[in-house]
Structure 1
Amino acid sequence: MTQKSGFGFYRPGAPASAGAPGSGTPAAPQPEPETAEPAYLSADAEIDLAHDDVATKVNETLARLDNELIGLASVKQRVREIASLLLVDRARERFGLSTSKPTLHMSFTGGPGTGKTTVAMRMAEILHTLGYLRNAKVHAVTRDDLVGQFIGHTAPKTKEAIAKAAGGVLFIDEAYYLFRAENERDYGQEAIEILLTEMENERGSLVVIFAGYADRMGDLFAANPGLSSRVPHHIEFADYAHDELMEIAELMVEKENFVFDEPAREAFDEYLTLRREKPNFSNARSVRNAIERTRLRQARRLVALDRPITKADLMTLTADDIRGSSHFG
Structure 2
Amino acid sequence: MKYICPQEVITAIAAGDISALDGFRQMRDMDQRMDAAMRKPASSKQKAEDSSKKMEEILRELDALIGLNEVKKLVREIYAFLEIQKRREKEHLITEPLVLHMIFKGNPGTGKTTVARILGKIFCEMGVLSRGHLLEVERADLVGEYIGHTAQKTREQLKKAYGGILFIDEAYSLARGGEKDFGKESIDVLVKAMEDHKNELILILAGYRDEMDGFLQANPGLHSRFPIHINFLDYTQEELLAISEQMCNKRQYRFTKEAKLALLKLLIRPSGEKEEHFGNARTIRNIIERAIRRQAVRLMAKQVTTREDLVTLEAEDLLEVK
TM (norm. structure 1) is 0.80
Structure 2 match to 1:313 = 309
Q: How far does residue 92 in structure 1 lie from its aligned partner after superposition?
A: 1.7
Q: How far does residue 274 in structure 1 lie from its aligned partner after superposition?
A: 4.8
RMSD over aligned CA atoms reads: 1.7
Say if 2:104 is the partner of 1:108: yes
Q: How far does residue 276 in structure 1 lie from its aligned partner after superposition?
A: 8.2
Residue identity in the other structure for 1:297: R
Higher helix share goes to which structure? 2
Structure 2 match to 1:291 = 288
Give ranges in structure 2 of 5+ residues lacking alignment: 1-44
Structure 2 match to 1:232 = 227
- Once the two structures are superposed, residues 291-325 of structure 1 have per-residue CA deviations (whole angstroms, 9 ceiling, x without a partner) of 000000000000012x3110000000001111112
Q: Select between 215-224 and 120-129 the one with higher mean Cα deviation.
A: 215-224
> Does structure 1 conserve the Cα–Cα contact (< 8 Å) formed by 2:291 and 2:317?
yes
For residues 96 and 78 of structure 2, the distance between their equivalents in structure 1, rounded to whole angstroms, comes to 15
2:231 alignment partner, SS class:
strand
1:226 alignment partner, SS class:
helix
For residues 269 and 189 of structure 2, the distance between their equivalents in structure 1, rounded to whole angstroms, comes to 45
Say if 2:130 is the partner of 1:134: yes
> Does structure 2 conserve the Cα–Cα contact (< 8 Å) formed by 1:263 and 1:318?
yes
For residues 238 and 166 of structure 2, the distance between their equivalents in structure 1, rounded to whole angstroms, comes to 33
Query: Alignment identity in percent?
Result: 46
Say if 2:182 is the partner of 1:192: no
> Does structure 2 conserve the Cα–Cα contact (< 8 Å) formed by 1:138 and 1:169?
yes
Structure 2 match to 1:62 = 59
Which residue of 170, 180, 186 maps to 2:166? Answer: 170
Structure 2 match to 1:145 = 141
For residues 316 and 151 of structure 2, the distance between their equivalents in structure 1, rounded to whole angstroms, comes to 54
Which residue of 92, 96, 100 maps to 1:96? Answer: 92
Residue identity in the other structure for 1:295: I
- Once the two structures are superposed, residues 12-44 of structure 1 have per-residue CA deviations (whole angstroms, 9 ceiling, x without a partner) of xxxxxxxxxxxxxxxxxxxxxxxxxxxxxxxxx
Q: Residues 253 and 111 of structure 1: is their aligned pair in 2 closer, same or farther, counting only changes over 3 Å?
A: same
Aligned length: 274
For residues 274 and 314 of structure 1, the distance between their equivalents in structure 2, rounded to whole angstroms, comes to 30
2:131 alignment partner, SS class:
coil
Structure 2 match to 1:11 = none
Say if 2:311 is the partner of 1:301: no
Q: How far does residue 101 in structure 1 lie from its aligned partner after superposition?
A: 3.8
- Once the two structures are superposed, residues 92-112 of structure 1 have per-residue CA deviations (whole angstroms, 9 ceiling, x without a partner) of 222233435410000000000
Q: How far does residue 265 in structure 1 lie from its aligned partner after superposition?
A: 1.0
Q: How far does residue 191 in structure 1 lie from its aligned partner after superposition?
A: 0.6
TM (norm. structure 2) is 0.81
Q: How far does residue 278 in structure 1 lie from its aligned partner after superposition?
A: 4.1
For residues 78 and 57 of structure 1, the distance between their equivalents in structure 2, rounded to whole angstroms, comes to 20
For residues 215 and 169 of structure 1, the distance between their equivalents in structure 2, rounded to whole angstroms, comes to 23
> Does structure 2 conserve the Cα–Cα contact (< 8 Å) formed by 1:101 and 1:204?
no
Larger radius of gyration: 2
Structure 1 match to 2:202 = 207
> Does structure 1 conserve the Cα–Cα contact (< 8 Å) formed by 2:102 and 2:205?
yes
Q: Residues 183 and 154 of structure 1: is their aligned pair in 2 closer, same or farther, counting only changes over 3 Å?
A: same
